[in-house]
Amino acid sequence: MNAADKGSTEQLFDRVMRRIAPVWPLDSFVAVNPYWGFADQLFSEAAAQLQGTVGERVIMDRRWYADRVQNGKLPLPDILQAAESLGLSTDEEEWRDYLWGTSEPSMRLPTLPELLDRRGHASISQYVVEQISRFLAAYYDRGQSLWQFPKDAGMGLFGAWRQYTLMDRSLSPLGLKAIRPLLLHLSPDGAAARHWAVRTLGIPKVAEEAYLLVLLKSVNGWASWCRYLLWQAEMQGESHADLADLLAIRMVWEALLHQTARPKALERWHQQLQGWILADKSADAEDALRGEALLQASEIAYRRVVAASIRRRPAGKKIATTRPLVQAAFCIDVRSEVYRRHLESAMPSLETIGFAGFFGVMLDYRRQGDYAPRTQTPVLLNPQVHVEEQGLEPIFQRRFRRLRRSAEWKHFKLSAASCFSFVETAGLSYVGRLLADTLGWHRPSQPPDEAGLTAAERASLQCALPASMSLDERVAMAEFILTGLGLNQGVAPIVLLVGHGSSTTNNPHRAGLDCGACAGQTGEVNAKAAASLLNDPQVRQVLVAKGWDLDERCCFLPALHDTTTDRVEILGGLNDPRLDAQTLAEFRAAQEQAANLTRLERMSRLEPDLRDSQAVTQNMIFRGRDWSQVRPEWALAGNAAFIAAPRWRTREMNLAGRAFLHDYDAVKDPGFAVLTLIMTAPLVVANWINLQYYGSTVDNQRQGCGNKVLHNVVGGTLGVLEGNGGDLRIGLSEQSLRDSNSGLQHEPLRLSAFIEAPREEMDKIIEGNEILRQLVGNRWLSIQQISPEGAIYHRKATGQWIAI
């Protein structure tokens, strides 16, 4: 292979690897757009490609839409409107025939191991995935295994797999021992192995990229993990070879089987490969486009409901501009929408604000005793500030002793010397613990920041910004926060910065219920850091001198919203002499009323028969403590809209917990810097969340993680397996999306963004940002403008604006 061909092949490998979306570990699990690598393609084109190669469904089956038409949830005129916008037929009878017709499955690209499988024998294709998965689980283990996998740092992932496979005795029972001498003579270098595999397989150029994608997708979970490692490295301007090495592993398996397969099997494989190449794929493309029309029709119907409810400015009147007594800034998370609505109704003199839950403080955070800091910033951005946990040394020492005792006890229970005799020796002493767990008497599993601490000790710890930051740097950060929150004027005497987290037990994906804007952590650290900064007397003095409308009595309080129980806890500052006791008491009463109303609303989806407020509260608390509960909350299921506008537009709207609410007032943003930030960061993060729920719903087998009851944690924090083997599972479980009583809880829709800003400015931002340009232009999300008069305009993918 000459240098030009080698370079071209390397570019091919890179394109295939970039199709894989990353997956974050369990301790920082965040929602990810599973189609991130296909954003450069039109939605329907990506759907047709994935269906026709991997067999992955990207659009719900047409019969699902037919049922919605039948029960009146999807009007046929909306389907015809969507069809016209996509250049399809608008014949009503033709669409009726299509909806109730029988769909022909796409011809999927076959791999060699699948054709080697024989009825009545162990599956070769399944074994290949299992063998790779077992190796990777041991290789990447983060402390779960008591016996560590020996690693040579200079060998790399592929070299380590080669050594592992040469010693793997499970090959012989499957009749694969003939691959061992071939592997022995293969270079341990991953790059050389990839090129050898390409030459050995001899796949026609026209199918080469598709075939390599199918190979990598066969271990999609582990490929997503390796893509995460590459993502993290590239965020720091570095690189990481493990994803390329994983591709080499999968390609080498294919090539080894190619060299040892019977001639008839190879002939059958070549015939099917040629058949796939020659097959007419226009029908798949048309079916995908028709499927997108049905999806778009559902979105049109939903957008119409939202657009009809958005408040218009009353004629001849102005919205009240009196200074509120309390302002509470919540994360834009859809769960906050429900609580905000009820809190405002309980205390009319209060104003809520929606802002991404990191509150503009892009930090990483290291607790005392931790080996490395963790990110508390949206994963699309790099932290800019390093924050250290601060507190009294005796507290840190007590926490360390408690956690060490717990770890030693766990190690003893699981060690080879005691695990067989432990149950017989200590079993009776665990009766009380098992009973308490079953009845929900214990508190939920402690989040990392609370583990080993009493409530009083936790409250005493601080998360202040580093002293090394200059006053000018602190003031600039404070101005950035206040501008983002829209607090240019009319700041209340009490301002709460309310992060959010959850309380659950026995839930490997608990971080997925926490704040995505804080990289899968609770918003506690960011709220404390931002409040500490905005209360800093020196910072406040400079801000007032620069013209910021900050009353000297104004006090910023950090708080945390538990989205499982809907309890809001103020995390400090209650002894501040500036606080007005009467206002605070009024807020606490409103807070309790809002919590009760929010629980009642959310319980209607969890336990519809419960109506009593006290019973609902007890049920919510029990859900968080119950080790067997698979649905402690619905999290972000149902999300479909993103609204960035002044709060008065939506203050009286019931959005049913389906909208990300970001406050934005273009009048307070003359240079549109805040608009740019909203559209390029929070909007993209919301799109990630939306498409993770979408992908997990339309094809849970490939983009979800299956049955939560069968999950087993692998590698400590790497992820989960469904059962005791197979590929690493990604995405959301079935229990997070549906239940046996009311069915599907998440309607798969692409995100519809409603933004009150000039159209020309939004066009500039879209065109100036490659990621946003691809997402909007290729129909992965839609943009709507709210005009100053309250009219709604939809932006077509081609850039034209049309009135809704």
| 700-720 tens-digit pLDDT | 999 999 999 999 999 999 999
pLDDT digits 0-9 by tens, 251-283: 999 999 999 999 999 999 999 999 999 998 999
Cα–Cα distances (Å) from 43 to 59, 76, 109, 513, 612, in that order, read 10, 22, 20, 28, 46
Does 695 share its domain with 626? yes
Cα–Cα distances (Å) from 156 to 135, 161, 189, 226, in that order, read 13, 9, 8, 13
Overall number of domains in the chain: 4
Task: Outline where 742-790 has alpha helix (H).
Answer: 759-768, 770-777
| Residue 425: per-residue pLDDT | 65
**CA gyration radius, the chain:** 28
Binding residues: 331, 333, 500, 515
Cα–Cα distances (Å) from 89 to 94, 285, 292, 300, 778, in that order, read 8, 15, 13, 18, 21
Over range 629-646, report the average pLDDT.
Answer: 96
The string of DSSP codes covering 658-682 is -EEEEE--GGG-TT-HHHHHHHHTH
Structure tokens at 467: 């002293």
pLDDT class for 317, splitting at 50, 70, 90?
Answer: very low
Name, in order, each residue with C-beta under 8 angstroms of 122's C-beta and a sequence gap of 6 or more: 173, 174
Over range 530-556, report the average pLDDT.
Answer: 93
d(CA 769, CA 746): 30
| Residue 443: per-residue pLDDT | 65
| Average pLDDT of the residues of the chain | 91
d(CA 355, CA 332): 5
| Residue 791: per-residue pLDDT | 94
In a domain, 632, yes or no: yes
pLDDT digits 0-9 by tens, 59-94: 999 999 999 999 999 999 999 999 999 999 999 999
Q: What residues pair up with 712 in beta bridges, in sequence order?
A: 721
Structure tokens at 527: 């709220």
d(CA 482, CA 59): 41
Percent helix / strand / coil, the chain, rounded to 5: 50, 10, 40
| Residue 319: per-residue pLDDT | 47
Q: Are strands 363-366 and 374-375 parallel, antiparallel or unpaired?
A: antiparallel
d(CA 500, CA 328): 13
pLDDT class for 393, splitting at 50, 70, 90?
Answer: confident
Does 263 share its domain with 298? no
d(CA 683, CA 780): 12
The residue from 728, 744, 760 where one domain ends is 744
In a domain, 454, yes or no: no
Does 43 share its domain with 22? no
Does 186 share its domain with 90? no
| Residue 783: per-residue pLDDT | 98
Does 585 share its domain with 633? yes
**Which range has the worst mean pLDDT, 136-140, 214-218, 315-319?**
315-319
Q: What residues pair up with 786 in beta bridges, in sequence order?
A: 792
Pairwise pLDDT comparison (379 vs 2), residue with the higher score: 379
| Residue 480: per-residue pLDDT | 93
pLDDT digits 0-9 by tens, 163-177: 999 999 899 888 898
Does 103 share its domain with 115? no
> With 70 as the cut, is the pLDDT of residue 422 above it?
no
Q: Are strands 752-755 and 743-744 parallel, antiparallel or unpaired?
A: unpaired
d(CA 179, CA 165): 10
Number of helices (H), then strands (E), belonging to the chain: the values are: 30, 18
Name, in order, each residue with C-beta under 8 angstroms of 680's C-beta and a sequence gap of 6 or more: 765, 769, 771, 772
Does 298 share its domain with 353? no
pLDDT class for 315, splitting at 50, 70, 90?
Answer: very low
In a domain, 755, yes or no: no
pLDDT class for 677, splitting at 50, 70, 90?
Answer: very high
Residues in the chain: 804
Enumerate long-range contacts of 760-767, CB under 8 Å, 24 or more apart: 761/672, 761/675, 762/675, 762/679, 762/795, 763/799, 765/672, 765/675, 765/676, 765/679, 765/680, 766/679
Does 595 share its domain with 693? yes
d(CA 41, CA 775): 9
d(CA 303, CA 508): 35
d(CA 380, CA 735): 28
Give me the sign of the Cα torsion angle 199, 200, 201, 203.
Answer: positive
In a domain, 292, yes or no: yes
| Residue 419: per-residue pLDDT | 60
Does 406 share its domain with 361? no
Cα–Cα distances (Å) from 494 to 326, 330, 389, in that order, read 5, 14, 25
In a domain, 735, yes or no: yes
- 69: nearest Cα among 101, 102, 100: 100
| Residue 316: per-residue pLDDT | 44
In a domain, 763, yes or no: no
In a domain, 750, yes or no: no
Is residue 55 classed as helix, strand or coil in its secondary structure? coil
Pairwise pLDDT comparison (653 vs 105), residue with the higher score: 653
Does 525 share its domain with 638? yes
d(CA 47, CA 55): 10
- 465: nearest Cα among 451, 482, 477: 477
In a domain, 759, yes or no: no
Does 671 share its domain with 707? yes
Centre a 10 Å sphere on the Cβ of residue 286 and count the other Cβ atoms it contains: 13
**Which range has the worst mean pLDDT, 28-32, 593-597, 626-630?**
626-630
Question: How many Å is the maximal CA-CA distance in the chain?
Answer: 86
d(CA 82, CA 61): 17
Q: HSE (CB half, 13 Å, CA atoms) of 362?
A: 11
Binding residues for Zn(2+): 331, 333, 500, 515
Does 270 share its domain with 352? no
Residue 357 sits in which domain range? Answer: 326-390+462-744
Cα–Cα distances (Å) from 450 to 54, 481, 497, 615, 736, in that order, read 43, 27, 20, 27, 26
Name, in order, each residue with C-beta under 8 angstroms of 195's C-beta and a sequence gap of 6 or more: 1, 6, 9
